[in-house]
Amino acid sequence: MKKEIDEILQKRMDRKDFLKHVGMGVAVITGTAGVVKLLRPEQKTEQQNVAMGYGSSVFGGVKATAQKS
Protein backbone atom coordinates (compact mmCIF):
# COMPACT_ATOMS: atom_id res chain seq x y z
CA MET A 1 0.00 0.00 0.00
CA LYS A 2 2.77 2.42 0.91
CA LYS A 3 4.53 1.66 -2.36
CA GLU A 4 1.42 2.58 -4.39
CA ILE A 5 1.00 5.84 -2.47
CA ASP A 6 4.66 6.73 -3.02
CA GLU A 7 4.26 6.06 -6.76
CA ILE A 8 1.25 8.39 -6.95
CA LEU A 9 3.04 11.12 -4.99
CA GLN A 10 6.13 10.92 -7.23
CA LYS A 11 4.16 10.90 -10.47
CA ARG A 12 4.23 14.11 -12.54
CA MET A 13 0.71 15.24 -13.36
CA ASP A 14 -1.15 18.28 -14.54
CA ARG A 15 -4.11 19.91 -12.81
CA LYS A 16 -6.66 17.68 -14.58
CA ASP A 17 -4.94 14.46 -13.46
CA PHE A 18 -4.54 15.82 -9.94
CA LEU A 19 -8.26 16.62 -9.66
CA LYS A 20 -9.11 13.13 -10.96
CA HIS A 21 -6.96 11.53 -8.26
CA VAL A 22 -8.39 13.75 -5.52
CA GLY A 23 -11.96 13.08 -6.68
CA MET A 24 -11.43 9.34 -6.69
CA GLY A 25 -9.85 9.51 -3.24
CA VAL A 26 -12.79 11.43 -1.83
CA ALA A 27 -15.25 8.98 -3.44
CA VAL A 28 -13.41 6.01 -1.95
CA ILE A 29 -13.16 7.55 1.51
CA THR A 30 -16.75 8.78 1.79
CA GLY A 31 -18.25 5.96 -0.19
CA THR A 32 -20.07 6.11 -3.47
CA ALA A 33 -23.48 6.08 -1.76
CA GLY A 34 -22.57 9.15 0.28
CA VAL A 35 -21.50 11.03 -2.84
CA VAL A 36 -24.75 10.13 -4.63
CA LYS A 37 -26.83 11.28 -1.63
CA LEU A 38 -24.90 14.55 -1.53
CA LEU A 39 -25.43 15.29 -5.22
CA ARG A 40 -29.08 14.16 -5.40
CA PRO A 41 -31.69 16.76 -4.42
CA GLU A 42 -33.45 16.05 -1.15
CA GLN A 43 -36.90 14.55 -1.52
CA LYS A 44 -39.38 15.82 1.06
CA THR A 45 -41.70 13.34 2.65
CA GLU A 46 -45.13 13.99 4.09
CA GLN A 47 -43.66 13.68 7.58
CA GLN A 48 -41.35 16.66 7.00
CA ASN A 49 -44.23 18.94 5.97
CA VAL A 50 -46.07 18.56 9.29
CA ALA A 51 -45.79 21.66 11.49
CA MET A 52 -44.20 20.95 14.85
CA GLY A 53 -44.39 22.98 18.02
CA TYR A 54 -46.89 24.43 20.46
CA GLY A 55 -50.44 24.33 19.16
CA SER A 56 -49.64 22.29 16.08
CA SER A 57 -51.64 19.28 17.26
CA VAL A 58 -54.59 18.44 19.48
CA PHE A 59 -53.47 17.97 23.13
CA GLY A 60 -50.05 16.75 22.07
CA GLY A 61 -51.51 14.04 19.86
CA VAL A 62 -51.88 13.86 16.12
CA LYS A 63 -54.69 15.75 14.42
CA ALA A 64 -57.34 13.53 12.88
CA THR A 65 -57.59 13.69 9.12
CA ALA A 66 -60.78 13.43 7.11
CA GLN A 67 -61.46 9.84 6.15
CA LYS A 68 -62.53 9.06 2.60
CA SER A 69 -65.75 7.04 2.20
Work out the percent of the chain whose per-residue pLDDT is above 70: 61
Distances (CA, A) of 23 to 6, 35, 56: 18, 10, 45
Q: Is residue 46's pLDDT more than 70?
A: no
Contact status, residue 21 vs residue 8, Cβ threshold 8 Å:
yes
58 Cβ contact partners less than 8 Å away, ≥ 6 residues apart: 64
How confident is residue 15, by pLDDT bands cut at 50, 70 and 90?
Answer: very high
38 Cβ contact partners less than 8 Å away, ≥ 6 residues apart: none
